[in-house]
Amino acid sequence: MRPTAADTLKSSGKPPRSVLVALFGALVPLLAALTLLAPPAAARTEAVPTAARTEAVPAAARTEAVPAAALTEVTGFGANPSNLQMYVYVPAAVTAHPAVVVAVHYCGGSGPAMYSGTEYASLADQLGFIVVYPSVTRASKCFDVSSPQALHRDGGSDPVGIKSMVDWVTSTYSADTSRVYALGISSGAMMTNVLLGDYPDVFAAGAAFAGVPFGCFATTDGSEWNTACANGTVIQTPQQWGDLVRGADPGYTGPRPRMQLWHGTADDTLRSPNFGEEIKQWTNVLGVSQTPAATDSPATGWTRTRYGATGDQAPVEAISLQGVTHNLYAYGMGARVLTFFGLDSGSVPQPPSGACKVTVTISAWNTGLTASVTIANTGTSAVNGWQLGFTLPTGQAITNGWGATYTPASGTVTATNASYDGTIAPNASVTIGYQANHTGNSAAPTAYTLNGTACTVG
């Protein structure tokens, strides 16, 4: 029998409004409003900028449940106690019995925002899997990872709705039920932990970017926020953490899903001690040693530890990003997720490991400055699609820019290529720039990364 009774986990305080705002705005917002097309039956298609994903499929030729290569909202997909929205992306070349990837958004986000701001749809185009994008409708736009209902299998709230979305896809497309995966960012990372705890028989693996352990955010007073957990002060033994996961589905005795964890050491929203607590939890759940079987640095500033095995599909893989804040997700990480899931079969290009060089010229006045930034590809392979990461000195804030989209305006900034300068051939370069205000320090950033790889500054 599967339990549905509520757990009695203890609550903690509500956050200051400023902390909630920081969490809601920590990651990329929805890039553009999406226009609804006429709905066929229980689905309607979202109009998105990429032509390849919006091309209509002739009605006479359409045999799939939703239009191919278009973000589509599906309604009436099954039990949905918290009124989530379901968006799905089915690539034109969907494979027979495809894998399913559930991509869960951050606080303040949405399913369409997760679609537009991450690369999983384009990876699905390459590999033929289906992507599900759950979307919160409650005012906070945060997933329920704290209520007793959410922390038990079939207990109600968001996990039940997401499980129904997976069931709809596996039934409609005869998907491979042994290859269902979850990933998420921030609130979505917390939900990834919850999904793998509530439904260990459904998910084969998960990837959590800047999250907290299963049960860490638990409250019983209706609050969505747990300050003690967010601040990294909820410390438990591996056994205690593991028992919380096992208690979500106490009748389950089968294999447990593998887990990949990502966290920035400078995260001041969900502080970095949560990363260590997640490692304690999932090594215990999976029955492997807390001593790493392998440690390496796949990119500058990254420390990757693997537990229980040394290969790409270790039971637990944990990546710590030195000096990176809560806004840690960057282009190229999706390919690493698929490698951990075992979906890429070596066919998805990893973030470029070749060399790069950044040259910056600053023109400053009393309260402002302009920066001209030249990015040179000094490697041997072309860079196709790039994100340049850097940290502005304290007191600087970007007011406008050219050649790239800059988010956020201050602190740790990610500059994402424009449509016309996304490819940098070997020995070629592109120049971008921005204007910023400052409060006295008009210096240029001292370090840059291109798609997660450190560049020479000169």
Candidates 197, 302, 186; CA nearest to 242 is: 197
Is 140 catalytic? The answer is no
447, 393 in Cβ contact below 8 A? no
377, 453 in Cβ contact below 8 A? no
Give the Cβ contact number of residue 306 at 10 Å: 23
22, 322 in Cβ contact below 8 A? no
Candidates 206, 177, 34, 193; CA nearest to 115 is: 34
106 CB-near residues (< 8 Å, 6+ apart):
23, 26, 27, 114, 184, 185, 186, 187, 188
Catalytic residue selected from 116, 164, 186, 442: 186
Catalytic residue list? 186
